[in-house]
Amino acid sequence: MSATEKLYDAYINNKPLKRGVIGITDLEKAYEVQDEVLNLKIENGEELSGYKISLTSKETQDIFKSDQPLYGAMTNRTILESISLSDFNIPLLEMELIFIVDEIVFPEDNEEDILRKCRVAPGAEVPDGRYEDWFPNIDLYEVVSDGAVNGAVIFGEPRKFEYKDLDDIKGTLSFNGEVIKEGRSTEVLGHPAKAVKWLAKALSERSRTLNAGLFVSAGTFNIPVELKAGNYTVEYENIGKVEFEVTE
């Protein structure tokens, strides 16, 4: 099977691949495989619903030996309100703000334009790779080929905000009522709107557009933590909070 077929089969059947088997060693080829896997999902009834942005801090870039962020396409299947661990391989959890695009975002738009064109919701992102023992052991090309190891997003009510509302704010992650992680929006390329601007440019370089109706999971406030069964709350200064349950 091709790399595309292997990844799609692993996705559909939730049977992780051994690390190294897809054999991709080039970033553009990795994005091509990501696109091909997305096309198979669409052919089988899913819809492109948004994107996640990864490696938006130096710390996360260093883990995967990258000097830039990367993105992954996500479908309607990934938008959840609660999570069952049995539906995933090795899911993790990150605090991420979710931008809801109300008006097409162009590469030349500045951060203020982006916030005028988008609403923002408190959210969480669940990275999950289609490989055995994937984090932090797979390489950059395996990450990109696998849609930036996207698993799911959960988010609350989106609202309009200004640039200053998202500038250097704290996010707090609680598990069963106890704070387990804190992070700041400065980890997301300095400001989450800067990450969305990066995405619009990266998509345009591949003849794609950040269209109205899509969401953007803008980048993590924290190094990912293991996702366990229980109750989670993610709360952001100025923005609000989202709560969800994880079952076995």
pLDDT in tens, 140-175: 999 999 999 999 999 999 999 999 999 999 999 999
Nearest residue to 242 (alpha-carbon basis) of 163, 144, 155, 183: 155
| pLDDT band at residue 65 under the 50/70/90 scheme | confident
- Percent share of the chain, pLDDT over 90: 95
Question: Average pLDDT for residues 242-248, to the nearest whole number?
Answer: 98
Structure tokens at 75: 């479908």
Q: Is the pLDDT of residue 63 over 90?
A: no
Count the residues in the chain.
248
DSSP state of 188: T
Model confidence band, residue 176 (pLDDT cutoffs 50, 70, 90)? very high
User: Is the preceding omega at residue 16 within 30 degrees of 0, hence cis?
Assistant: no
Token duo for residue 200? 């619009």
Mean pLDDT over the full length of the chain: 97
CATH code: domain of residue 141? 3.90.850.10
Give pLDDT, residue 151: 97
C-alpha–C-alpha distance, residues 40 and 166, integer Å: 36
The CA distances from residue 132 to 39, 102, 128, in Å, are: 24, 38, 10
Give the residue numbers spanning the domain of 65.
Answer: 3-247
**H or E element in which residue 120 lies:** strand 118-121
Kindly state the helix (H) or strand (E) to which residue 122 belongs, with its residue range.
none
Tally of structural domains, the chain: 1
Question: Which pairing describes strands 178-184 and 118-121: parallel, antiparallel, or unpaired?
Answer: unpaired
- Reduce the DSSP state of residue 112 to 3 states and report it: helix
Query: Of 60-64, 105-109, 176-180, 231-235, which range is least confident?
Result: 60-64
Is 156:122 a contact under the CB 8 Å cutoff?
yes
Tell me the two tokens of residue 132: 């055995």
- Residues 169 and 237: their CA atoms lie apart, in Å, by 6
